[in-house]
Structure formats: C-alpha cells, structure tokens
Structure 1
Amino acid sequence: MFGRFGSSADAPQIDRELVDQINKRLTLNLLIQGAAAHTFTTANHLVKEDLEAIRPGLTHLYDRFAISGQLNYCIGEIALTFGRPNRWWGWSRTPQKPFRNHPLMAKHGNRLATGETRRLQRLARTKGVIPYPMFHWLQFWGILFKVTSAESGNASRLEPIAIRAASEIWNIPAHRLDGSITRDVAFGNLREPKTGLGKMTRAGVVGYGGVERRGDQFTVVAKAWVFPLLIHELVKGIMELICLHGLNKLDESAYDAVTEEADQLEYEAWLLQAGPEMWRQFLAVAPREPPLANTVMNVAKLAPTPLHELMIQVIEAPDRAAKRLAELSN
C-alpha cells in the first residue's frame, strides 16, 4: 500500500505505526485541501468592494473561475486523468491505492467527491458556468483568459487584498503571510514526483502554498497565477501551519517518511474532490468558540485512531462529533 511501509499483519510494529501516521497525514491533507478549495469558491465576496473598485464585474468573474476551476477536478480533464477516489472513475467499490486501507477515505471518499460535484454543478447553473463534461473544459479556458486579461497590471493591488482576506478568515497577522501573483510559482524544497502522473501534474501546477521558517518564526508563503488561486494557496499554507502541530511529536526520520509518502503531488486531485465536502461537514459541527484555527489544531494533535473516529462521526453521527469537538476545545 505505502511503498516500503506495508500494512500486512506480519509487518514490524514500527511499520504499522508509520502506516497509521501516513493515514493521519492523508486525513490532515484532506482537511487542508478541503479548506483551501472551500475558500477558493467563497472568499471573493469578503473583499467584493475592493475587487469591484479595481474592475467592475471582477467578483462575478472570479466566482465563475473558481467554480469552473474546482469543477475541473470533478468532471474536467483532471477528473478524466486521475479518476475519483475510487477506481474506474468512481464506478468501482475499490478505493485508489493510497486509500485502500485508509479508515476514512476507503469508506467515504467517493461519496464525498460526489457531494462536491453535485454542489458545484448547482452553483455553476447560477453563474453561467457549463456543468457538463467536455463542454465545461472548453469554457474554462475562455474564463481563464478573461481573468488573466482583467488582472493585467493589477497584481500589486490584488496581492494585499488576498492577504487581508486570508488574514481575516483565519485571524492570523497579515505580516506572517507572503503572497504574490506570478507565473513563477515554485519555491522552497519541492518534493520530486515519484511517478509519471506526478511529473505531469508538476508541469501543470499553477500555484503553491506552504510554510517557510524565516528567522525565529514560520511564514506562510503562497504564489499563484491569479487572485482566486492566491487565496486558495494562502489558506492551504495557513492550514499547513496549523496542522504542523499534528506532526511535531514525530522524530525527523519518521516525519520525513510520513510526508514522503502522504504528500505526493498526484494525490491532490482526489483530496480536492473529496476535501471540500468533508470540510463543510466539519464546519457544520465545529464549535463557534474558540476560533476555528484552535479547533483544527486540537484535531490535528489527535492520535491517528481517535482522529479517524472523529472524522467518521462528522459524517455518520454529527451530533456526537459536535460534542467531541466541544470537549476538545475546553
């Protein structure tokens, strides 16, 4: 299942522990990608006045771009290339290889992806976005061209707006966020893809978000082609910063082994299909106090088994999940 970290019953204890930690990291990545994708399709309205001051109609254009871009993971070329969390484009009951023994994704990944697809198709109809395969993909490139044309010469005005939006959503000081609109999106020590599919994915990346240590503190860094993607990558970086609390008890070799397996670029398509619906269901049961970042941090600190029990409860028994999250916050 996980390369050199097998999950057979006769595997050494250390291997089983690593598999548990890999599964935990995959679950945290599901939440990270879900939060970023959810914000990608909703955050524009938080800064609508600023966007409309730059160009009237920009908010609506960004709405269409975000919905169409996220739909690309569900019904577009990305879905065609990667399929669904289950094999054979979701028609099989067998999960994709990384999730076959994953407590959450093996059971609910495909249904979460289906829920996200249906939600996006409903939104698409309200924004003039084609919600059907192939025709949607052709329209997407036209929308992308309109976005890049509208942003021409405005990157320096849009970047601080994106930073402010992400800062307000997550209550993190703006000076700890570094975001830029650029075609040169690579930064830091990027993980080398292991497969041909991963290498193909790397070639098509239009944004990166993550965490860098600068001096005595961590800074969230995000680079993306356009404004909506910049917010997406900023939120992804913020969530990564929060979720680091879930891995800080691993020694260096275990941390490297876990992230080497769980953070493969080719897994992002499936996580972006299932993650947004998982995130919305999580938000529905998360307590209003303390701040959401604290709740996510407490969840990230859970050991693998309690974490997966909680996330399954979010889907199957939301009242119990709400009670458990409230207990974690006290």
Structure 2
Amino acid sequence: MSFIELKGITKHFQTKNGLVKAIDGVDVAIEKGDIFGIVGYSGAGKSTLVRLLNGLEVASSGEVLIDGEDVSKLTGAKLREFRKKVGMIFQHFNLLWSRTVLQNIELPLELAKVPKAQRKKRAEELLRLVGLEGRGDAYPNELSGGQKQRVGIARALANNPEILLSDESTSALDPQTTDEVLDLLLQINRKLGLTIVLITHEMHVIRKIANKVVVMEQGKIIESGNVLEVFQNPQNEVTKKFVTQELDPEFKETEQFLAEIHQENPQGIIVDLLFEEGANEPVITKVVRKFDVEISVLSGHLKQTKVGGIGTLTVLFTGEKEEIQLALDYIKEVGVKAEVRNIG
C-alpha cells in the first residue's frame, strides 16, 4: 500500500448553472518521501485535489487514504489531529501582517496550545532551517517575496508534519527566487524525509525537484509517470505542450526559424533527437560516416531534472529519402529517440 492513495475519486460542486465535475474518476498513488507533482492549467482540478488531501474538501465518491486511514471519514477532534500531519504552503504567503516573523511561525503551535517557551524554541529552529536566522523580529512587510515564502514554509513545518502540500507556492516569485525556494524544498525533503505534493502550472517546478508527476485536464489525469520519462516521451498533447514550453522557452521563435529552414530545404527532413543523460556516443558523426546523408544542427537544449538530464537536438537531414530512413533507423537502434517534425 502506498503512503497516499486516491481511489476512484470524484468531486462535484453544485452551482447555479448545474453540477460541475471538478474531479472525475482519479486514481493516484504517492510513496513516502516522494516529491510528487500535479500539473495542469487553470481549471484542471488540481487545487481541488490537494484540498482533499488535508480534509478541507470531502470527495463525492472514492477513498482518500493516507497511511491507510480514510481522511473522508474523519471528523471533529480526529480530523483536527490529522491536519497537524499536513503542512500547507500558499501562493500568496497568507502571513499575518501585524505579527512578527517569529510569531507567524509560532501560530500553528499557539493554536495547538503548545507552551510559549517551546513554541519560541521550535520557531527559532525553523528560522535557521529556512535560512532566516536573525529575522525573527521583522514584520512581513519588511521582507522580500522569497523571504515571505520561507516564513510560510517554516510555519507549515511547525507541527512536524509528515506531508507538505504546496499550492502554486512559487508562481508569485521571480525565476531566481523560485529556484531558491525549490532548492529549499528539496533540502527539506532530503533532511526531514517529508512527502511533498506540488500543485503547479509551471513545468519548471516539476522538472527542478519532482520525481513523479501527473498531468490533469478537466478533472481527469491524462498522463502520469516518472518525471524523466514524461519529459522524454510525453504522450498527450497537453503534456507535450507543457514539456515543449519548458525545454524550449522560445518555442514560437524556434518554430518560425524551422519553418524558414524547411522552406529553403523542401526535400530535407527536420528531426528532434532526444539523448538520455550519459549518452556519450558520437551518434551524428557515426551516422554521417555510415550513410550518404548530411546533418545540420539547428538548435539544442540541455535541461536537468531531479533524477537525470535531458538533451535535445533539432537537426536537418538532407539526402535521398531511403538513405535518410536508414540513418533514422540506425539512430533509434543505438537508443536515441528520433521524432520527425511535421512542418508546413
């Protein structure tokens, strides 16, 4: 049994326009210690899904099992006690502006009636963990966005949770600060052994620290797997769009450039080559020597995931069609993925 299991989950909301299916027949398994990504565009159902994990929403049908316990059946004191096991980080920090940094971190402990001296000691430990030692007496309006989110992370850890839920926690931050916060979450995962569930519409977040991912659309899971596998071989069109936008941020400019190349070389074939980390064979050199084709490199990208690297090359093959096909067959035989681009 997995640490977190969602079985046959549906969640319906009654609106003035009728019944809305926010979650529609979802199954998810998350192992202890995973950094698990749930990615999708706005309205995909991902935030509703995460609210089921901490009992803020109850599924219309199906089971939400955490460490074998059905969350949907918990009420009253048992539900409150369970929620201490689940920390939550929010997009807009949700800090109390009239409280100092230390007092914000102490808040969950105060609500749990932990003695004052013990609260302060725990809050100071967490300040050191998130890299804000010495800022305990500051107020939120004196902090940068990244520092505010570090306070939010520290507060989420106050009750020593087993699960950390992150709902778009980096989407309000600039790219450099986003990477700093993601590095902190990765450090926390490794140091504390926490299971982290990331809700995001940014594939960069998934690539940077997650080891597993599900892609959602209209309340359904349309793709799932290890992050490296999903990046290397996306199956669904929505997933392909997410992956392409992350691996090639200048996608539109690249497409225009490739269209111009194709116009100039109508008999040529443009191919995306995907190399796994550690692939050090001089494949292109061997192909040119072995077959009567010419290969021009048009663009290339190298990105790192938590579990390995992804290298892509977009190249132009010119030569006889039969010879190009033999070259492509050979490339696939040596373990390099090759996908012909359909341009024009």
Q: Shorter-chain TM-score: what band?
A: under 0.3
Report the TM-score, using the length of structure 2 for normalisation: 0.27
- Highest RCO, 1 vs 2 (Cα 8 Å, sep ≥ 6): 1
Q: Which has the higher strand share?
A: 2
